[in-house]
Structure 1
Amino acid sequence: MTDRVYTIPIGTPFLDRLAAGVWERVEGDPIALTDVRLLLPTRRAVRSAADAFLRFGDGRPMLLPKLSTVSDVDEDLLDVEAGSEAGAAGALEIPPAIPDLQRHLELMRLVTAFLRADPDSATPDTPEHAYRLATALARLIDEVQMHGLDFAVLKDLAPDAYAAHWDKTIAFLKIVTEIWPGRLEELAAIDPMARRDALMRAEAAALRAHPPSTPVIVAGSTGSIPATTELMRAVLALPAGAIVLPGLDRDGDAASWAAIGDDPTHPQHGLHSLLRTLGVDRDQVREWSPSVTGGRDRLIRETLRPAATTEAWRGLSTAADAPTPAAFDGITRIDAASPREEAGIIALLMREVLEQPGKTAALVTPDRRLARRVAVELRRWRIQDGDGDRLEVNDSGGAPLSNSAPAVFLRLLARAAVDCAPVALLSLLKHPLSAAGLPPDRFERLVERLDRDILRGPRPAAGLAGLRRAAEASGLKPEPLGALLGFCDRLTDALAPLEAALSQPTVAVPEILDAHLRAAETLATSNDTHGSLRLWVGEAGEALARLSNEFADGAAGMEPIGGRDWPGLFDALLEGRVVRPRYGSHPRLHILGVLEARLLAFDRVILGGLNEGTWPAEPKPDPWMSRPMRRDFGLPSIDLAIGKAAHDVAMAMGGSEVFLTRAQRVDGSPTIPSRWLLRLDTVARALHSEEKLASWKAPGHWHALLDTPAAPDPGRPPEPRPRLDQRPRRLSVTRIDTWLRDPYSIYARYILDLRKLDPLDMEVGAIERGNAIHEALDAFVRDYPRDLPPNPADMLIEYGKRSFAAHMDRPGVWAFWWPRFERVARWFVEVERERRKSLDYSATERQGVVTLAGPGGPFTLFGTADRIDRRGDGTYVLIDYKTGANPSLSDLKAGRAPQLPLEAMILMAGGFAEQDLPAADVASLEYWRVGGGTPPGKIDAVDATVPELVETARAGLEALIAAFDDESTPYHAAPDPRRSLRFNDYDHLARTGDWSAGEEGEG
Structure 2
Amino acid sequence: MGIGGIGGLYAIEATDGFADTLARGLWQEADEDPMVLARMSVLVPTRRAVRTLRESFLRLGNGRQMLLPALRPVGDIDDDEAGFSGLDGAAAAGDLPPAIPGLRRQLLLTQLVQRFLERKDSGTAIQAAGIDHAALLAGELASFLDQVHTEQVPYAGLADLAKERYASHWQEVLEFLSIATEFWPALLAEEGAVEAPLRHSALVDRLSARWAEQPPQDPVIVAGSTGSIPATARLMGAVLDLPLGAVVLPGLDRDADEVTWAAIGQDPGHAQHGLAHLLKSLGRDRSDVREWPSSGAGAVRSPRRRLIQETLRPAETTEAWRRLPEEHAELLSGGIDGLSMLACPGHHEEAETIALMLREALEDETRTAALVTPDRVLARRVKSALRRWDIEVDDSAGQPLSATGPMTFWLATAEMAATACAPVPLLAALKHPLAAGGMEVPRFRRRVRTLERSVLRGPRPAPGIEGLLNAVRDAYPEEEKQDALDWIGKLAPSVTHFSELLDSDATSLIDLLSAHNAVAETLAATNEETGDRRLWAGEAGEDAANFLGELVEAVRDFPPIEGRSYGAFLEALLVGRVHRPRYGTHPRLAILGPLEGRLQQFDLMVLGGLNEGTWPPDPGADPWMSRPMRAEFGLPSPERRIGLSAHDFQMAASAPQVVLTRAERVDGAPTVASRWWLRMETVLRALSLQDKIGRQVAAYPFWQQALDAPKKLEPVRPPAPCPPVKVRPRKFSVTEIETWVRDPYAIYAKRILGLKSLDEIDEDPGAADRGTMIHDSLDLFVREFPEELPPKALERLLEIGREQFAPAMLRPSVHAFWWPRFERIAEWVVTMDGPRRAALSRIWTERKGQIMLRGPLASVELTCKADRIERQADGSYVIVDYKTGAPPTDKQVRAGLSPQLPLEAMMLAMDGFAEIPAGAIGALEYWRLSGGEPAGERKPLKGTLEELIEEAEDGLLKLIEAFDDPVTPYRSRPAPEHAPRYSDYEHLARVKEWSAAGEV
| TM-score calculated relative to the size of structure 1 | 0.94
Cα deviation, residue 82, structure 1 = 6.8
Letter paired with 1:460: P
C-alpha contact 1:363 1:606 (8 A) present in aligned 2: yes
Residue 316 of structure 1 contacts residue 686 of structure 1 at CA under 8 Å; is this kept in 2? yes
Distance 1:288 1:762 in 2: 70
CA deviation profile, 1:660-680 (whole Å, cap 9, x unmatched)? 223333333333333322222
Q: Report the more deviating stretch, 187-196 or 427-436.
A: 187-196
Q: 1:725: Cα distance to partner? A: 2.2
Does the 8 A contact of 1:684 with 1:692 survive in 2?
no
Q: Does 2:194 correspond to 1:190?
A: yes
Q: 1:350 aligns with which of 340, 358, 361?
A: 358
Shift of 1:42: 1.7
Matched, 1:219 2:219: no
Structure 1: gaps spanning 5 or more residues: 384-391
* 162-171 or 409-418: bigger deviation: 162-171
- Relative to structure 1, is the Cα distance of residues 485 and 65 closer, same or farther in structure 2, using a 3 angstrom cutoff? closer
Q: Which amino acid aligns with 1:704?
A: Q
Q: Is the 8 A contact 2:6 2:219 kept in 1?
A: no
Aligned to 1:894: 895
Give, in whole Å, the separation in 2 of the partners of 1:864 and 1:20: 90
Q: Aligned match of 2:37 in 33, 36, 40? A: 33
**Pairing 1:684-833 to 2, within 5 Å after superposition:** 684-694=684-694, 696-708=697-709, 710-833=711-834
Question: Which deviates more, 293-302 or 868-877?
Answer: 293-302
Could you say which residue in structure 1 is the equivalent of 2:575?
575
Q: Is the 8 A contact 1:73 1:203 kept in 2?
A: no
Query: Displacement of 1:987 after TM fit?
Result: 1.2
CA deviation vs aligned residue, 1:86-105 (integer Å, no higher than 9, x gap): xx977632111111111112
Q: CA deviation at 1:608?
A: 2.1
Q: Does 1:453 align with 2:443?
A: no
Aligned-partner Cα distance in 2 for 1:705–1:648 = 34
Q: Residue 46 of structure 1 contacts residue 68 of structure 1 at CA under 8 Å; is this kept in 2?
A: yes
Separation in 2, partners of 1:527, 1:768: 42
Question: For residues 58 and 791 of structure 1, do their structure 2 counterparts lie closer, same or farther at Cα, with a shift above 3 Å needed?
Answer: closer
Preserved CA contact (<8 Å) 1:331 1:658:
yes
Question: Structure 1 residues 881, 247: CA separation in 2 closer, same or farther (over 3 Å shift)?
Answer: same
Change (3 A) 1:446 1:19: closer
Query: Kindly tell me: are residues 357 and 804 of structure 1, through their superposed partners in 2, closer, same or farther at Cα, counting changes over 3 Å?
Result: closer
Cα pair distance change 1:710/1:320, threshold 3 Å: closer
Give the SS at the match of 1:728. coil
Equivalent residue, structure 2, for 1:605: 605
What's 1:113 paired with? 115
CA deviation after TM superposition for structure 1 residue 490, in Å: 2.6
Q: How does 1:633-712 map to 2 (within 5 A)?
A: 633-694=633-694, 696-708=697-709, 710-712=711-713
Q: Distance in 2 between matches of 1:273 and 1:317?
A: 32
Q: Is the 8 A contact 2:100 2:195 kept in 1?
A: yes
Q: What is the CA–CA distance in structure 1 between the aligned matches of 2:678 and 2:544, rounded to whole Å?
A: 43
CA spacing shift, 1:850–1:669, aligned 2, 3 Å: farther
Residue in 2 aligned with 1:386? none
Deviations 1:362-398 (A, max 9, x none): 1222233332333333233346xxxxxxxx3232321
Q: SS at 1:11's partner residue?
A: helix
Q: Distance in 2 between matches of 1:78 and 1:3?
A: 20
Q: Which moved more, 1:983-992 or 1:88-97?
A: 88-97
- For the 8 Å contact 1:364–1:605, the answer to whether it is kept is yes
CA contact (8 A) 1:923 1:943 kept: no
Give the 3 Å change call, closer, same or farther, for CA 722–1000 of structure 1 in structure 2. closer
| Change beyond 3 A, Cα 1:779–1:31 | closer
Deviates more, 1:241-250 or 1:609-618: 609-618
1:267 aligns with 2:271: yes
| 1:501–1:998 CA distance, 2 compared to 1 (3 A) | farther
- C-alpha distance in structure 2 between counterparts of 1:461 and 1:918, whole Å: 46
Quote the Cα distance in structure 2 between the aligned partners of 1:1000 and 1:952.
Answer: 31
Map 1:391-470 onto structure 2 (within 5 A): 392-418=392-418, 419-470=420-471
Q: Distance in 2 between matches of 1:723 and 1:760?
A: 36
Q: Is the 8 A contact 1:494 1:523 kept in 2?
A: no
CA pair 899-412 structure 1, distance change in 2 beyond 3 A: same
Structure 2 SS opposite 1:261: helix
For the 8 Å contact 2:7–2:245, the answer to whether it is kept is no
- 8 Å CA contact 2:19–2:599 kept in 1: the answer is yes
> Once the 2 structures are TM-superposed, how far is the Cα of residue 301 of structure 1 from its aligned partner?
1.5
Q: Give the Å deviation of 1:708.
A: 4.0
> 1:316·1:322 contact (CA, 8 Å) conserved in 2?
no
Q: 1:65 to 1:94 in 2, by over 3 A?
A: same
The aligned amino acid for 1:365 is: T
Q: Do the aligned residues in 1 keep the contact of 2:41 with 2:220 (CA within 8 Å)? A: yes
Mapped to 2, the partners of 1:222 and 1:181 lie a distance apart of 31
Show CA shifts across 1:437-460 (max 9, x none). Answer: 111222111111111110111222
Segment of structure 1 superposing worse, 330-339 or 19-28: 19-28
Q: Which residue of 2 aligns with 1:371?
A: 379
- Tell me what 1:388 maps to: none
Residues of 1 paired with 2:665 and 2:491: CA distance? 45
Aligned to 1:97: 99
Compared with structure 1, are the counterparts of its residues 697 and 954 closer, same or farther at alpha carbon in structure 2 (3 Å cutoff)? farther
Tell me the secondary structure at the aligned position of residue 800 of structure 1.
helix
1:730–1:54 Cα change, 3 Å? closer
Contact 1:3-1:284 within 8 A present in 2 as well: no
Whichever residue aligns with residue 274 of structure 1, its letter is L
Question: What is the aligned counterpart of 1:325 among 309, 333, 339?
Answer: 333
CA distance in 1, matches of 2:37, 2:13: 24
Q: CA deviation at 1:315?
A: 4.3
2:975 maps to 1:976: yes
Change beyond 3 A, Cα 1:714–1:304: farther
Alignment counterpart, residue 173 of structure 1, candidates 177, 180, 191? 177
**Which residue of structure 2 aligns with residue 965 of structure 1?**
964
Aligned to 1:140: 144
More displaced stretch, 253-262 vs 104-113: 253-262
Distance 1:799 1:55, change over 3 A: closer
Q: Distance in 1 between matches of 2:407 and 2:322?
A: 56
2-structure distance, mates of 1:450, 1:934: 42
How big is the shift at 1:884? 2.2
Deviations 1:916-951 (A, max 9, x none): 211111121111112122222222212542111111
SS of alignment partner, residue 415 of structure 2: helix
Moved more, 260-269 or 226-235: 260-269
Q: Does 1:277 align with 2:277?
A: no
TM-score by length of 2: 0.94
SS in 2 for 1:195: helix
- Residue in structure 2 matched with residue 540 of structure 1 by the alignment: 540
* Counterpart contact for 2:20–2:600, Cα < 8 Å: no
Superimposed CA distance per residue, residues 498-552 of structure 1 (whole angstroms, 9 cap, x where no aligned partner): 1222122211111110000111111000111111110001111001111111111
Corresponding letter in the other structure for 1:302: E
CA distance in 2, matches of 1:457, 1:100: 46
Q: Aligned in 2, Cα 1:490/1:26: closer, same or farther, shift over 3 Å?
A: closer
Query: Aligned equivalents of 2:648 and 2:585: distance in 1?
Result: 23
* Alpha carbons 2:114, 2:128 under 8 Å: kept: no
How far is the alpha carbon of 1:323 from its aligned partner?
Answer: 5.6
Aligned 8 A contact 1:521 1:532 in 2: yes
The residue that corresponds to 1:482 in the other structure is 482
Distance 1:742 1:966 in 2: 18
State whether residues 610 and 660 of structure 1, in contact with CA within 8 Å, keep that contact through their aligned partners in structure 2.
Answer: yes
TM-superposed CA distance for 1:692, in Å, is: 2.5
Question: CA–CA distance in 1 between the matches of 2:325 and 2:351?
Answer: 36
Distance in structure 1 (CA, Å) of the matches to 2:868 and 2:442: 49
Q: 1:756 & 1:286 partners in 2: Cα distance?
A: 76
With over 3 angstroms needed to count, the CA separation of the structure-2 counterparts of 1:989 and 1:219, relative to structure 1, is same
- Identity across matched positions, percent: 49
- Measure how far apart 1:27 and its partner are: 5.0
| Separation of aligned partners in 1, 2:620 and 2:360 | 37
Distance 1:125 1:286, change over 3 A: same
Q: Cα–Cα, structure 1 residues 782 and 313, in superposed 2: closer, same or farther, change >3 Å?
A: farther
Query: After superposition, what is the alpha-carbon deviation per residue over 1:218-263, rounded to whole angstroms, capped at 9, x for unaligned?
Result: 2211000111111111122223333221112223344433333333
Task: Report how far residue 143 of structure 1 moved.
Answer: 1.1
Partner amino acid for 2:920? D
Equivalent-residue separation in structure 1 for 2:797 and 2:674 (angstroms): 68
Which stretch shifts more, 290-299 or 113-122?
Answer: 113-122
Structure 2: 5+ residue runs without aligned partners? none
